[in-house]
Amino acid sequence: MNKTVLITGASSGFGRLTVKKFQQEGWNVIATMRISEKEMEFTELNNVLVTCLDVTVKDTITRAIAQGIERFGKIDVLVNNAGYALQGPMESTTDVQIERQFNVNVFGLINVTKAIIPHFRGNQNGIVINYSSIGGRVAFPYTSMYHATKFAVEGFTESLQYELNPLGIRLKLIEPGAYNTNINNAADWSFADGISDYKEGLDKAKLAMQAMGGASGQNPQDVADITYIAATDCTDILRYPVGGDAEQILGARSQMDDLQFKTMIRESLGL
C-alpha cells in the first residue's frame, strides 16, 4: 500500500512543490488549502486529493483529515507548511496583525497536529513535519512577531518529541533560509506611520531583506526534497536546515556570543 501525506498550505510556495515531490515519488497526497475549489492542476494528478483546510478553522481540519482517511485508508505523515510572515516595527503592529500571525503560524499548526495525533497514536506510527525557519533559531530586525511564532514552533516541536516518540510518532523541523517564495512576496508589513524614529532603519532593513530573498539564487525545490528525506530517512533527526545561507548563518551563530552576532547582523544590513 502506498503511504499517504497530508500537506497544509499546498496552494503555493514550498507546499505546492512538496505536493508534487511526494506525488512523483508514488505517495498518496492530501493537498489542503484554504480555497480548494480554485485548484486545477492537482485535481488532474493521480493519487492526489485536493480539499479545503484553513488552519484557523477547526472544522475544516477535522473534515480534511477524515476525507483523507476515507480516500486512502490511512495517513502516515503530516506536513505543517501553512504560514505567513509579518514584518515591521513591533510598536506599530496592530492587534489584528499579531493575532493573525499567531493564529496561522502557531495555533493553527498546533490544532492540525492535535487533530491528527489520535490517528497516529492508534496506528502506533506517524511523522509530524513542522515548517520552521532559520528565523526560529536566530532573529533579524523588524521581524519580531514572525520570529516569536517560529521560535514557538521550535520549542513546541522539540518538547513534543518526548511525548510522542514512545508512541511511535516522530517529529521533524524544516528550517529554510532565504528563498524567493510567496511567503516573502506576500508578507504583511506594519509601517511606522507617524513614528519617524523607525523610518531610516526600517527602510534599510526592508531593502536588504528583500534583496536577500530575491537574489539568494537558492532553489525552493531543495526544501521539498529535504521534506521528503525527513519523511523517509527512518531517523530521529529533529532539525533539517535548508540552504547554504541557513548553514552559514547557523554556523556563525554557534561560534559567536550575542553581541558579536548582533553586530554582524547590523553591519550586514547597513543598520
Q: 115-165, pLDDT tens digit by residue?
A: 999 999 999 999 999 999 999 999 999 999 999 999 999 999 999 999 999
Domain that holds residue 219: 4-269
204 is catalytic: no
162 is catalytic: no
- The answer to whether 150 touches 164, Cβ cutoff 8 Å, is no
Length of the chain: 271
Q: 169-227, pLDDT tens digit by residue?
A: 999 999 999 887 645 444 677 766 678 888 888 888 878 776 665 545 799 999 999 99
Cα separation, 61 vs 120, in Å, equals 15
> For the whole model, what pTM was predicted?
0.94
Which domain CATH number covers 173? 3.40.50.720
Cα separation, 153 vs 131, in Å, equals 8
Q: Count structural domains, the chain.
A: 1
Catalytic pick from 132, 172, 206, 240?
132
Q: What is the pLDDT of residue 114?
A: 98
> Nine-digit cell at 20?
508534487
Q: 72-93, pLDDT tens digit by residue?
A: 999 999 999 999 999 899 998 9
Catalytic pick from 84, 131, 142, 146?
146
- The answer to whether 141 touches 201, Cβ cutoff 8 Å, is yes
Q: What is the pLDDT of residue 138?
A: 97
Q: What is the pLDDT of residue 190?
A: 74
Cα separation, 192 vs 213, in Å, equals 23
- The answer to whether 74 touches 124, Cβ cutoff 8 Å, is no
Catalytic pick from 3, 20, 21, 150?
150
Q: What is the pLDDT of residue 185?
A: 46
Cα separation, 78 vs 18, in Å, equals 12
228 is catalytic: no
